[in-house]
Every structure is written in structure tokens, then in C-alpha cells.
Structure 1
Amino acid sequence: MAVAVVVRSENSDIADGTATLTVTTPAGTAVGDVLVAFVFADHDGTAEAITAPEGWQQAGGDGFQGGAAFGKVFVRAVTSAEPSAHTFGVPPPSSCVAHVLCVSGADTTSPVDVIAWGGSSSASTSQVAPEISPARPETLLLCGWAGVAGASSYTPPGTMIEVADTPTPYLFAAVARQALVASGATGTRTATASSSTAYLSVSVSVSPAGSSDGAETTVWISPDGTMIPLEVEWSTAGRFAPPPVLVEEGVPEQPGARHREARHGVREFSLPLWIEDSSPAALRARMRALVAAMDPVRGEGTIRITTPIGDQREIYCRVSAGLEMDETLGRTSGPTLQRCVPMFRAVDPYWYDTTDTIDTFSSADTATFFPIFPLRLASSSVFVEATIINSGDVETWPVWTITGPGSAITLRNLTTGYALTLTTTLAVGEHLVIDTRPGRKSVLKNDGTNLFTALSSASSLWPLARGSNSVRLEMSSTVALVSSLQLARRHRYLTA
């Protein structure tokens, strides 16, 4: 029998109109425990602005319910050097809540078994957390709810015990717990809100210690943020090096060819899976749920692995074939067992870190932002020449957040020679986000104003090259202790 997974303690905090939210580490936290953070922000923000500090991993995908809230769940194995508090990034326009739970008896390698988001855009006091199906017995069920109203609260479902219930001026959120004995479908959990509102909800199962036994684990995260564990057969193909594309040109009357270009092409890989449940009816329900969650028409999903090293990487992809199922009795199918071999297609062929690496600089900071720090500060300008390390295998595309006051902004990569110049003025309390990522490139002010036309004609939304990058950040008309610059990026890798 596994050691019981229990909530040892909890701490919460709120933010209203600020870019960070700091929660004190729960009392009694010890090495071997797992911290689980539920972070909610009202609908004025964005999911991307919700970030966790180093050492945390996101469980599942982003939660969002129109007219209600955004949310993310993060987990962290407690270390001997555990900090006294944890600071999360949150969207500055929003009211936000963070609940941090200290859980003992949980698996420290892959603590979250299943996660699913729910909610409704229709106002109601009966707010439903979705059904999930833990693959393992003796897990801990955690459910969270967030509604848009001030000075409001929740009454937990009758089978659950409330862990936290926190209001803000515009958002209220709660978390409740329940020990589960068996695996399989949990059913939904309905909390009662004191105000009738649209809401976001989430259900999470936390696995007992020893569940992963150091082996690699694989999950599928659907476009709506639902996370499904996958039982992967040891016969996968295509997860390591992406396919190279070599472009060559023949030369008349000469042997061979001339090399013109080398790049990585679209990646396709297969994951042979076994789907198993306790009865034919339960198996059929699980097969239907998997096919629906992997439907490529619904959007791009994510394959996330936890490696034997203990780190996590993920790749964004769609299923291109294989969910038709080969139902050959005795070979690929049985009353409670079914094999399928989905083929995944990743137009972006690289594996990513599962969380952002974030560096923040303001004129009040000590030299902790960058590893190399020749800098000059004055009331009228900020110049920072720094070495940024891209530890991935290929270039990575940063997201810059610049908080005013400030003007005449220039971001230079001295290693590659690229520069970005923006002619605009930010007042106190204003900020802009420069997103350089392919397919998402944008320059947006916090009020939604599109500042792309404010870029100079010679500007490049440049990437960080692999390895060491010498970067200079320039901004005029800054104010000490107020103006700041933030760099967020996810490193990219050739292999799982």
C-alpha cells in the first residue's frame, strides 16, 4: 500500500494590478514534499503572463474560460535549498490569486497524473470541476475554481475538504482536496459560489510516491489543456534528431553538386500506445476520450515527456494518422486492452523547455540579472551590455516586456548584429510586450494598442543564437525603482 498523499499545509496571496505575486513557502515544508501551485488571473490578462520561478514545471496546459479567468497549475519537488517564498509572474491588469499547497507522500518525479480544465461562460452559483480518470489508485484529487466577483467565496463539494478560499477585488478562487482509493473516473465535483458568475475550474490528481520509479513518462496535452498519461510501448521512432533538409544545386558539366542550404524539416514520429481499463465499457469510454482529445481538427496539442534524467521537454504537434485503431483480437485488441499507433506531425520540429527562463532588470536591482554586467544607469537612460546564454541546441526567440516610464527603446544583439528600435513613449504604469516568436510576432501595449508600425524599417525581431549572446538594452527617460525590462524565452532542442 502506498504512503498516503496528503496536503501538509498551504499559503495564498493575491495581486491586483501588479506584475508579480509572491507566496511564502507553506509551513512545515520538507525535502521529499511536492509543492502544487494554482495560479488564477481574471479575464483582463493573458495565460502567457502567468509564469513560475525557476525549478517549477507546468502541469498540463493553460486554462481559460471567456468572461471568467485564466489559470495554470505548477509543481515543484522540494529541495534542501528551498527558498522562503516563491514569486510568480502575473498579468499586471488583472486581479490574481495564487494558492501554494505543500503535499507529502507524492511522487517527486511525476507528481501530477491527470489534469483537466473546465468552466462556463454562463453565470451560475453551481460551479463544476471536470471529471478525470487517474491511472493509479490512492491518488489525491485537487479541484480548483475561480470566478469573477469581489468579496465572494466558495463552499466545497460535500465529498471534499476546502484547502484555500481567497477573494480579491475582482476575482475569487478556492481549492479543495479528496483522497481517492481507486483509479478510474472520478465524476465531476460541484462547488457552490456565493456569487453567480462565469467561472474557470480544474481537476488534478497527484500520484503517490514511487509511481514513476524513475522511468520516462509521456503525456498528451490537448488544446483545451487536458493532460492524459500515455502508456508508450518501447518501440517509438522519430523522437530524437529532426529530419535534415539539404538543398543542393547541380553545376553543368561538373560532377556532384554545390551545397546551398541545410535546415531541419517537418518532424513526424510515432508513439505506439496501449489503452487499458477494468472492463470493456470502461475501455471503450477511454478510447473515445483519447480519440477526441487527439483530434487534429481541434488544434495543436503537446507531447510532454519527463526523462530518466528528471527534466521535461515538450513538442507541439497534431495527429496525422493512427487513431483508426486496429481491432484484431489477440494481437492488438482484447476486452480490456487496445493498441494504437498514432503518428504525430510537428511543423516546428524542435523540443522545448516546459517553462520559460525569465530574467528581469530594473535600475534598483543588484547585479543578479545577467552573468556579465558592465552597465551604466542614469535618470535619462539605461544601457545594459550583458551576456545571455542560450543553452538550447538551436536559436530561441525571446519575449520582451518593458515597463515604463521610458522612451526611445533599442534592443541589440551585438553577437549577431541585429537590432530592434521602437519609437514610443511609456508612461508610469504602462508596459509593452515585444513577442519575436515565429507565427506570433507582435508589439503590443498593455491597453491593446498595436505598436508594430512604431518599429524602425531596419528593425529585426531577432532571436538569441545558440550559446553566448552579447546583448545591449537601451531606454531613455527612465525612473529609478520603476522602469524595468524582462526577457522570457524557452530553449529549444533537437532531441527529446
Structure 2
Amino acid sequence: MSLAEGEWKLSYSSNGVHPGAAFTFGTIRTGYYLTDAFEITYGDIDTGDTPMPRADGVRFGQDWKSAATITFEVGVDAVDDAPTQHGRHGANLDRLSVMGQVWDAEALRLRFATPAVLSTVQGGRARRFYGRPRKWAPAASKLTRQGYTPVACTFVCQDDTAYDEVEQVARIDIQPPPHPGLVGPLTTPLTMTGRSKGVVQGDRIVGGTKPTWPVITIYGPITQPACEVVDWWKVNLDLTLDVGEHVVIDPRPWARTVLRNGNASVAGLLYRGSPRLEDLRLPVGRQDFVLRGTDATGTAYMTVAWRDAYSHL
């Protein structure tokens, strides 16, 4: 079910016997509607300021921002689920049990660094946050027996960023496609007509309002592959990928991995001159991605995937 305006969806995968979730709430049609506007609380800044020795003022250092927290007040409504008061009471308890199970997120709590996804549509824009559900507190209410219970709950984000729901993916081949050149018959004087597309091979637009994380996947056959974002950074690997092999460089805060064929870590094969994973972000604007390396077949390629990032919804 696609999200309607004002709706939210909490989703994560299962883990053994612990089920995953795809829980939608926020509007009346879901049975879990917001009774007040949601609130995004941005975390405090951990400043690196130090006093000036034997002088007035402070010396500013590096500052770090903590995560954002989203708070909801939800009305769990089962008033129309049964014709009797006894039935409405039972239906409301069932709905509370469903929401409580989702918010408990035991499938996540037992896994290191794994976030849930909280998606929403606000002002016609589809956005998502990465994080984990935390507080879940149904209020003691006499209305529960009538089929309605208010609940307060929170979601702690991995960072303070909202990401576009749509993932952008660019494919870059190690060998550019051949140019067709001029096609005869030709007459003089030669002139060019039509408008340029304005986008060269490998050129892509990174939207949003702040830098975002890419996920880089390089497919063999290739030796000493490198992904370069022209004028910004280049990450190199000292390895050889055969046909059918691939390596994924994932610098996102909840991953920070370099995996060969999905399971073997090859982070130690990054060249010393490569940026740290935490510095591998794509600037906003037009970017040119280049795949470098040695491939006698000319068939190696890579994909760069990202979600545009925003400082607010």
C-alpha cells in the first residue's frame, strides 16, 4: 500500500523467529491516527570548545551533532470494529498488541547497527529516516473499553537527515559507448542544429540540500578498481575481481563496510590515499563518476546508488 499524505510507515526485516514489520499509521484509514502534530527534536551539539589559556574567550574546535528524535501522539481506534462494547474493547486491545509488537522491534534490538526505516509523505514529498523505534507508552484511559486508547511513542534517528524515498542509481561502464560520428552525405558549410542535452557520459545530478552517502558496487573483471568523483575524491582497491565477482563499498553510518561478493570484508585492501569511509559523501549538484582500473575485456562496470538528503522534511 502506497502512503497517502500525512501517513507514516515503520519497516524492518525479520530476524529468525522475530518477525519484521511494515506498519502504517498516521491517518484515520489506518486505524492509528495522529491526535497532534508530530514533533522532530534535533539533538544538542557536542562542542569541542576549549578555554583560551590566560585569555578571554574560547577556542572553537570540532562540533558534533547528536541524532534527531521524532515524537508521535497516536490514537489507536477500534470503535468501528465491533457492534458491542465488549467487542470494541477486545478489538482495541488487539490493535494495541499489534502496535506494541512493532514498536518493540526485537528483530532489530538483537542486531548490531541495523536500523529500521521510517517513511512518510509530507507536502507531497516522500521522505525516509533511518533509526529505531524507542518509547511506546499507551495511556491509562477509560476509553479503552469503548475501543480507543491514546499512545505516545518515539523514533530515534540514526542522524538528523531526511532522505528521499526514491533511490537514484547511475551505471558507469569502464569503456564509454562509441560515438556515432558524422553520417553522410555531407554538404558545406557544415552546421550543428538542435539543442545539447547538457549532460555528458557519466554526469549525474545529486539533489537535496546536503551531501549524501553513495553505495558503490564494482563488477568484474577488473584489476585495481577505483571509483572517482571528479574534483572531489577517489577510492582505490588493491584487488582483482573475476567475471561474476563484485565488491560493494558502503560508507553509510549503519554499514561502513567494504564487502567482496557480499560476505568477505576487503576494507584492508583500500589504498592508503583513499578517503576514510566516513568522508565518502556526494556533494549536492552535478557530479561526474568515473570507473578506473585494468580490464582487457572492456566489460567491467560499476553502479553508484544514493538518496538525496535534506536537513528537514
TM range (shorter): 0.7 to 0.9
Aligned to 1:373: 200
Aligned match of 2:295 in 462, 473, 477?
A: 477
TM-score (norm: length of structure 2): 0.73
Normalized per residue, which structure has more strand? Answer: 1
TM-score (norm: length of structure 1): 0.48
Aligned match of 1:319 in 133, 136, 142?
A: 133
Aligned to 2:214: 398
Q: CA deviation at 1:275?
A: 0.6
Aligned match of 1:430 in 220, 236, 245?
A: 245
Q: Is the 8 A contact 2:230 2:290 kept in 1?
A: yes
Q: How far apart in 1 are the matches of 2:99 and 2:91?
A: 12
Aligned to 2:107: 298
1:65-80 equivalences under 5 Å are: none
Unaligned runs of 5+ in 1: 1-110, 114-211, 375-385
Aligned match of 2:21 in 226, 229, 238?
A: 226
Aligned to 1:344: 155
- Call closer, same or farther: CA 1:394–1:340 in 2, change over 3 Å: same
Q: How far apart in 1 are the matches of 2:172 and 2:117?
A: 32
Larger radius of gyration between Structure 1 and Structure 2: 2
Q: How far apart in 2 are the matches of 1:349 and 1:263?
A: 11
Q: Is the 8 A contact 2:172 2:291 kept in 1?
A: no
Normalized per residue, which structure has more helix? Answer: 2
Q: CA deviation at 1:288?
A: 0.6
Q: Is the 8 A contact 2:170 2:204 kept in 1?
A: no
Q: Which runs of 4+ in 1 moved over 6 A?
A: none
Aligned to 2:60: 259
Q: CA deviation at 1:430?
A: 2.6
- Call closer, same or farther: CA 1:447–1:291 in 2, change over 3 Å: closer
Q: Is the 8 A contact 1:442 1:452 kept in 2?
A: yes
Aligned match of 1:269 in 70, 90, 95?
A: 70
- Call closer, same or farther: CA 1:252–1:453 in 2, change over 3 Å: closer
Aligned to 1:139: none
Q: Which has the higher contact order (CA 8 A, sep 6+)?
A: 2
Q: How far apart in 2 are the matches of 1:449 and 1:325?
A: 44
Query: Is 1:289 aligned to residue 98 of structure 2?
Result: yes
- Matched to 2:70, the amino acid is F
Q: How far apart in 1 are the matches of 2:262 and 2:76?
A: 47
Q: How far apart in 2 are the matches of 1:364 and 1:413?
A: 16
SS at match of 1:271: strand
- Matched to 1:340, the amino acid is V
Among all aligned residue pairs of Structure 1 and Structure 2, give the percentage whose two residues are the same amino acid.
Answer: 18
Q: How far apart in 2 are the matches of 1:450 and 1:257?
A: 43
1:98-118: CA deviation from partner (whole Å, max 9, x where unpaired): xxxxxxxxxxxxx447xxxxx
1:371-407: CA deviation from partner (whole Å, max 9, x where unpaired): 6437xxxxxxxxxxx5443313332221222222221
- Matched to 2:310, the amino acid is Y
Q: How far apart in 1 are the matches of 2:262 and 2:67?
A: 37
- Call closer, same or farther: CA 1:249–1:291 in 2, change over 3 Å: same
- Matched to 1:434, the amino acid is I
Aligned to 2:309: 492
Q: Is the 8 A contact 1:326 1:340 kept in 2?
A: yes
Aligned to 2:229: 413
Q: How far apart in 1 are the matches of 2:64 and 2:198?
A: 31
- Matched to 1:373, the amino acid is V
Unaligned runs of 5+ in 2: 15-19, 26-32, 82-87, 109-114, 180-196
